[in-house]
Copies of this chain bind each other. A is one copy, B any other.
Amino acid sequence: MNAPHPPEPAAFDPRILRRALGNFATGVIVATASDGEDRVGVTANSFSSVSLDPPLILWSIDKRSGSLPVFRRASHFAVNILAMDQIELSNRFARPHEDRYAGVPWRPGLGGCVLLDGASANFQCERTGILEGGDHWILVGRVLAFEDKGTAPLLYHQGSYAMALPHPHRRPPQDASGGDAANDLRARLADHPYFLMTQAVRSYQESYQPRQIQTGWRPGEARLLMILNDGPARDMTALTRQADMPQHQVEQTLDLLRSRGLVERTPDGEALTADGATQVCGIWAMARSHEERVFARFERAQVETFKQVLRGIIAAPA
């Protein structure tokens, strides 16, 4: 699955190309507009800042999108950058055929565009161009006004929702009390539990990842297999919620897993095949053995205290 793909454009399996493109992590936007009659909004991750002077941004919309006619008629659009807690909003504006704005708090913006409450930022734009982009149109807009809340963002990576964590360069805390007297910040961080948690998460992820990659499955694919291991899934919405993936991504991933013979359609819904169940066993065994390796140096009581404190932090009221 990691082999290079040859220069034969016609031969690309779009599922495999999409999977490769998923390596580029992005935020998630809901682009909105209205033509005076209809009010539309679509979830996208194909957003890009283009220019500061003049202030230009772009995003792309599927040519088959039902919302396209309104975006073409509207003179303006808004881009709402979703915050970490707006998964439901992302899923809602990604699904077709629904009154997407029902129950969603919003305010009107310039030229009929729509500003969603709770976004990390929004940009109200006058549309300055619609460019040809294969199966999509590229919409370019000039920013006329913006709001910047700065809240933690919702991320999209390898088909799954994700969150951003400050990049913790690996700096062994042991060094902190070392020779460099001026290094006060480093000493403070080395004793700061949140900083230590982010470093520990990175360290664990870093050592686990080579094994995860060897399985050939992306985290979202492995997660779907593990969920189906608990029993067949009939309700696509529930599966979407459980997997932390958008519904179209769940469908595409099931499609891929079916083509590899790991999942099949049954009267009870999507179900693991015997091969699928074997894969899940392997994934769990690998996760367990890695966990044991990392925690072998600690006493049982220490690990229990560790988990207890983690559970306490998780349960803490905001």
Contact = CB atoms under 8 A, between A and B. Distances in A.
Interface in A27-85: 27, 29, 46-60, 81, 84-85
A49 B51 contact: no
Interface residues on A, range: 35 or more
A155 interface: yes
B48 A7 contact: no
A27 B21 contact: no
Given A155-B25, A226-B185, A142 B9 contact: yes
A236 interface: no
Interface stretch (A92-100, A206-214, A270-278): A206-214
A163 to B, nearest CB: 5
A193 B181 CA distance: 35
Contacts of A206: 84-85, 152, 318
B314 A309 contact: no
B17 A52 contact: yes
Given A7-B124, A21-B57, A185-B229, A303 B309 contact: yes
A231 interface: yes
Interface of A: 1-7, 9, 12, 14, 16-21, 23-27, 29, 46-60, 81, 84-85, 87, 110, 120-121, 123-124, 131, 133-136, 138, 140, 142-155, 157-158, 160-170, 172-174, 182-185, 188, 191-194, 196-210, 213, 218-219, 226-227, 229-231, 241, 244, 284, 287, 291, 294-295, 297-298, 302-303, 305-318
